């Protein structure tokens, strides 16, 4: 007879971030890769099906509203996430579908509607990753000559997200009656305008979509700055962190949960999922070899430019076979590279790396933490972070796709299961259920009863 | 031995407009209907699969950015079309997917990207129906207190559409090289900014999506006004007309093709697809009975309000068992109901209808032409219009869905095939190929060689 437990065990959450051919910029050059995978829906569906077979929580799609990379050397985020996720949802049954959309270059009514629709067509598996979009190229595609400043972007994002949530709540659960006998289709007493008038938006509502299966799609955010953390603390239900170290991630999670508490939200209301690039080999030496082979397939001029961009210096100041220059100045807190800059610098100094060695150590330098090793080593790291509360889960960014994900699923997942920290099957049907998040009450009902 | 023909025969085009449970507002009340069909992706997929099995050209989804109907009595257009069409594309292989999106409440970069993505994920089956959105509810969901006036909406729509086309052409065909040996991913000489600076939009480009399988998605429009016809003549490749009579449709098609010629476009560059609501019975009497039963299931207060709206009068001026008032004043040309108003009035006067009889004759009054009859009668009508060039095809709006479509497919389609005017199988893979439209040259290449 098993013991009854009063609370269910904490569960590890795993997402896969489907960045076309993988996180190492040269992934498209491998023999098994299709260079056109980045615009081939079958590729994304295949990756999602591998993740679903392994019972992952969700697939995640990043996004951008410009060509923000050097396309002569590598694929970009091209296909619009919500449409791609609808395609993925049609070919899967359980896995969550989280897509990125910008609050700076959209309207709240459209975003509320698209993600509510995605929640309906996926049967309650949708999540929206809220971003403010900081690149100049995107600004210039939407009538601006400069990027709106950080505070302005976050003020708009905060109002935007509040309006979207109000629109999602504009239909009460059960508003659709559909009584064939009486002819009553909707109980209009349960459908409400939102009547929002704010500094950035005026939105009358209601939304023209009934409340969706999850109450509303899961809100995801990745803010690292002070403004970003406030936005996450107020609204986010899952956060993708870019923490580079265990201590940093632990501190990040504690800070975020304290900020969330100030908004009256409990410690389980926000899950911290840490970004993690994996390079897997059957021995550590094999994994390191794989990493170096992949990195050496990236044109060095590309890698130099990318690293220089992160460090905020001109590429000609970096010499491949010398160490980093001494006098690098820290990018501002508003810069998404702030954390990465610190970690990169520390790593470089600690090991006395040349620029070439540093680029290899960063697996090309994607901005997230990299683990290179055996399945056992990776499982150890994940277990340590998870058990200590440095993360509730991971947003995996495999070196190559689908290969790097398949290696993770075949090698790491069985170990995590043997250790009892990752599910062997889905226990629920919705993304909220996978993440252990409550279905949100309708704010309007809640206000009525307050 | 058959005679060789120098030109392929003209082909009839058939789309189905999937308006949730069907075009008669009471369709959801039938015994076989699911009242929640309007938010159930399986319903839309099922309708699309019936249409694809019958080798239709496309499914079509209308759209609106507000609750623009009386939801206490009937379903509305709720799910966002491009996401729903991605779901449909995933469950079909040939049928085109045409979705409506507004130029008044979107940004060109986003729309270019969403429809290019839909074209990629569907393998070249996407179409965009360009609308300007005339209702006050939509305006108030996007920060406006009034509907922008007709000329302003169309000026924006025209610039919007030009920018979208330029973005679609910002990558030349063949720009993606993907040469694993040299490491060249994209030939950046084949990717161009659009550098648009206009009264409504400034868009730098290029789009972050390579040119899509069809060159670009098929452009669809439904303009009836002078401004609408100019927009269609300049850009549209298919037009959904709301012509109420044979003569009117013939005149409309001639006018449109003459206007298109002024933009240097040939007579086959724009296909005219007439809206057509069908109510089918095995005898005419049975079809009429079906129509009256359906109409009588609509609450009369709803039908009166709807008719009054079209006629631009207060509902209390209409008495169910009296004829229409004498002194009705015509809505302006900018009003989408202009054509419908004329036809309704003429029909009413000609037959001496009471308001109740008129509402029955209009099958509830959706604004498009209604045929009530046997499959043979409907096939006769379609053949007559098609052979005389009053239409290149039809945008079918069945009374009920999927039932009314299934009746059309089982009853009317075999007759059209026996008469040799409708295909027995798909001859191509893309929506353009179904519609007999050429793959557009890249305007940028064309400009270079000019």
What ipTM describes this predicted complex?
0.96
Q: Which part of chain B has CATH 3.20.20.30?
A: 13-278+369-441
A44 in a known ligand binding site: no
Q: What is the pLDDT of residue A347?
A: 82
Strand A58-61 vs strand A96-102: parallel, antiparallel, or unpaired? parallel
Name residue B275's beta-bridge partners: B395
Q: What is the pLDDT of residue B443?
A: 87
* Contact between B199 and B155 (Cβ < 8 Å): yes
Taking phi first (over 0 means left), then psi (-120 to 50 degrees means alpha), and beta for anything else, what does residue A139 get?
A: alpha
pLDDT reading at B334 higher than 80: no
Q: Quickly count helices (H) and strands (E) in chain B.
A: 15, 11
Whole-angstrom distance, CA of residue B53 vs CA of residue B402? 13
Backbone φ and ψ of A126, nearest 5°: -90, 145
B80·A188 Cβ contact <8 A: no
> With b meaning 16 or more CB within 10 Å and e meaning fewer, what string describes B70-94?
bbbbbbbbbbbbbbbbbbbbbbbeb
Contact residues on chain A for B67, CB-CB shorter than 8 A: 191, 206, 208
Contact residues on chain B for A147, CB-CB shorter than 8 A: none
Cα–Cα separations (whole angstroms), residue A434 to A240, A394, B371, B414: 16, 14, 51, 49
Whole-angstrom distance, CA of residue A383 vs CA of residue A398? 18
Contact residues on chain B for A142, CB-CB shorter than 8 A: 107, 109, 203
* Contact between A196 and A423 (Cβ < 8 Å): no
Kindly provide the residue ranges of all beta strands, DSSP E only, lying in A213-284, ordered along the sequence: 218-221, 238-241, 271-280
Best interface-test mutation with B: which of A27, A34, A67 has the largest number of B CBs within 10 A? A67
Strand A393-396 vs strand A202-203: parallel, antiparallel, or unpaired? unpaired
Helix axes B41-53, B81-90, angle to 10 degrees: 60
Q: What is the pLDDT of residue A327?
A: 79
Whole-angstrom distance, CA of residue B195 vs CA of residue A61? 28
What is the greatest pairwise CA distance in chain B? Answer: 81
A188·B142 Cβ contact <8 A: no
Whole-angstrom distance, CA of residue A57 vs CA of residue A12? 9
DSSP A57: S
The confidence band for B98, taking pLDDT boundaries of 50, 70 and 90, is: very high
DSSP B24: S
Query: Which residue matches tokens 């330098």?
Result: A365
Q: Which residue of B has its CA nearest to A183?
A: B73
Give A105→chain B minimum CA distance, Å: 8
Strand B196-197 vs strand B202-203: parallel, antiparallel, or unpaired? antiparallel
Q: Which residue of B has its CA nearest to A201?
A: B143
A209·B39 Cβ contact <8 A: yes
Q: Which part of chain A has CATH 3.20.20.30?
A: 13-278+370-449
Whole-angstrom distance, CA of residue B127 vs CA of residue B113? 13
Question: By the CB < 8 Å criterion, does A142 face chain B?
Answer: yes
A39·B75 Cβ contact <8 A: no
pLDDT reading at B1 higher than 50: no
Three-state secondary structure string covering A109-176: HHHHHHHHHHHHHCCCCEEEEEECCCCHHHHHCCCCCCCCCHHHHHHHHHHHHHHHHHHHCCECCCCE
Cα–Cα separations (whole angstroms), residue A171 to A150, A207, A217, B142: 33, 8, 14, 19
Whole-angstrom distance, CA of residue A289 vs CA of residue B34? 58
B142·A107 Cβ contact <8 A: yes
Whole-angstrom distance, CA of residue B344 vs CA of residue B339? 9
Whole-angstrom distance, CA of residue A42 vs CA of residue B27? 37
A39·B91 Cβ contact <8 A: no
Element (H, E) at B85: helix B81-90
Contact residues on chain B for A205, CB-CB shorter than 8 A: 141
DSSP B99: E
Query: Which residue matches tokens 């490749």?
Result: B237
The tokens for A360 are: 């290899």
What angle is formed at CA A212 by the lines to CA A209 and CA A214, rounded to 5 degrees? 160
Q: What is the pLDDT of residue A311?
A: 83
> Considering CB atoms only, which of A31, A75, A176 is closest to B36?
A176
Q: Which 166-195 residues of chain A touch chain B by CB within 8 A?
A: 176, 178-180, 183-188, 191
> Considering CB atoms only, which of A72, A118, A204 is closest to B185?
A72
| Mean pLDDT of all residues in B261-284 | 96
Name the percent of chain A lying above pLDDT 70.
94
B135 in a known ligand binding site: no
Q: What is the pLDDT of residue B27?
A: 97
A87·B90 Cβ contact <8 A: yes
Cα–Cα separations (whole angstroms), residue B206 to A100, B161, B210: 20, 15, 9
A205·B143 Cβ contact <8 A: no
pLDDT reading at B336 higher than 90: no
Contact residues on chain B for A121, CB-CB shorter than 8 A: 41, 79, 83-84, 87
Q: What is the pLDDT of residue B303?
A: 93
| Mean pLDDT of all residues in B200-222 | 98
The tokens for B195 are: 């550098």
Within 10 angstroms of residue A258's Cβ, the number of other Cβ atoms is 12
pLDDT reading at B187 higher than 60: yes
Residues whose CB falls within 8 Å of the CB of residue B62, separated by 6 or more in sequence, listed in order: B17, B19, B77, B81, B100, B129
Whole-angstrom distance, CA of residue B199 vs CA of residue A413? 55
Question: By the CB < 8 Å criterion, does B112 face chain A?
Answer: no
Q: What's chain B's length in residues?
A: 450
A252 in a known ligand binding site: no
A141·B83 Cβ contact <8 A: no
Question: By the CB < 8 Å criterion, does A198 face chain B?
Answer: no
| Mean pLDDT of all residues in B292-312 | 91
* Contact between A2 and A375 (Cβ < 8 Å): no
- DSSP string covering A264-310, please? T--TTSSEEEEEEEEEE-SSHHHHHHHHHHHHHTS-HHHHHHHHHHH
The tokens for B151 are: 């000329």
Residues whose CB falls within 8 Å of the CB of residue B339, separated by 6 or more in sequence, listed in order: B224, B242, B243, B244, B248
Residues whose CB falls within 8 Å of the CB of residue B180, separated by 6 or more in sequence, listed in order: A28, A29, A30, A31, A33, A35
Give A95→chain B minimum CA distance, Å: 16
Output the CATH code of domain B13-278+369-441.
Answer: 3.20.20.30
Q: Which 84-103 residues of chain B touch chain A by CB within 8 A?
A: 84, 86-87, 89-91
CA Rg, chain B, in Å?
A: 22
* Residues of chain A predicted below pLDDT 50: 1, 334, 449-450
- DSSP string covering A177-190, please? ---TTT---B-GGG
Q: Which residue of A has its CA nearest to B92?
A: A90
| Mean pLDDT of all residues in B290-308 | 94
DSSP B434: H
pLDDT reading at B307 higher than 70: yes
The tokens for B315 are: 């509902």
The class level of CATH for A13-278+370-449 reads alpha beta
A169 in a known ligand binding site: no
Q: What is the pLDDT of residues B419-429, one digit of tens each?
A: 999 999 999 99
Q: Which 29-58 residues of chain A touch chain B by CB within 8 A?
A: 29-31, 33, 35-36, 39-41
> Considering CB atoms only, which of B71, B117, B144 is closest to A185?
B71
Handedness of CA A125, A130, A135, A140 (dihedral sign): positive
Question: By the CB < 8 Å criterion, does B196 face chain A?
Answer: no
């Amino acid at each position: 007879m098993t013991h009854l437990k009063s609370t269910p065990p904490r569960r590890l959450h795993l997402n896969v971030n489907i960045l076309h051919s993988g996180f190492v910029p040269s992934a498209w050059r491998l023999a098994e890769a299709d260079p056109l995978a980045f615009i081939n829906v079958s590729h994304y569906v295949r990756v999602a099906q591998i993740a679903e077979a392994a019972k992952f929580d969700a697939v995640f799609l990043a996004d951008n509203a410009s060509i923000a990379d050097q396309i002569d050397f590598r694929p970009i985020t091209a296909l619009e996430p919500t449409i791609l996720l609808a395609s993925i949802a049609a070919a899967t049954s359980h896995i969550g579908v989280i897509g990125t959309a910008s609050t700076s270059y959209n309207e709240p009514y459209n975003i509320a509607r698209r993600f509510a629709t995605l929640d309906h067509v996926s049967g309650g598996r949708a999540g929206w990753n809220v971003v403010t979009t900081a690149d100049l190229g995107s600004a210039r595609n939407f009538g601006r000559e400069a990027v709106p400043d950080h505070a302005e972007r976050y003020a708009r994002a905060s109002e935007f997200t509040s309006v979207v949530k109000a629109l999602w709540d504009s239909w009460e659960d059960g508003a659709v009656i559909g009584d064939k006998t009486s002819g009553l289709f909707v109980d209009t007493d349960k459908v409400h305008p939102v009547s929002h008038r704010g500094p950035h938006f005026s939105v009358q509502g209601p939304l023209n979509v009934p409340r969706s299966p999850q109450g509303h799609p899961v809100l995801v955010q990745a803010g690292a700055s002070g403004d970003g953390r406030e936005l996450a603390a107020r609204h986010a239900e899952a956060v993708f962190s870019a923490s580079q170290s265990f201590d940093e991630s632990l501190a990040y999670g504690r800070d975020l949960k304290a900020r969330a508490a100030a908004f009256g939200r409990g410690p389980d209301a926000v899950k911290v999922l840490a970004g993690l690039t994996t390079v897997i080999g059957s021995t550590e030496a094999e994994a390191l070899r794989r990493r170096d082979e992949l990195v050496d397939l990236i044109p060095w001029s590309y890698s130099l430019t990318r690293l220089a961009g992160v460090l905020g210096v001109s590429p000609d100041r970096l010499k491949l076979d010398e160490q980093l220059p001494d006098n690098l100045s820290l990018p501002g807190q508003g810069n998404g590279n702030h954390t990465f800059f610190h970690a990169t610098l520390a790593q470089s100094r600690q090991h006395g790396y040349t620029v070439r060695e540093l680029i290899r150590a960063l697996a090309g330098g994607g901005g997230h933490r990299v683990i290179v090793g055996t399945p056992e080593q990776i499982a150890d790291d994940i277990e340590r972070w998870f058990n200590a509360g440095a993360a509730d889960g991971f947003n995996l960014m495999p070196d190559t796709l689908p290969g790097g994900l398949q290696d993770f699923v075949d090698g790491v997942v069985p170990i995590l299961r043997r250790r009892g920290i990752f599910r062997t099957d889905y226990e629920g049907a919705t993304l909220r259920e996978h993440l252990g998040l409550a279905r949100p009450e309708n704010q309007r009902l809640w206000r009525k009863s307050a």
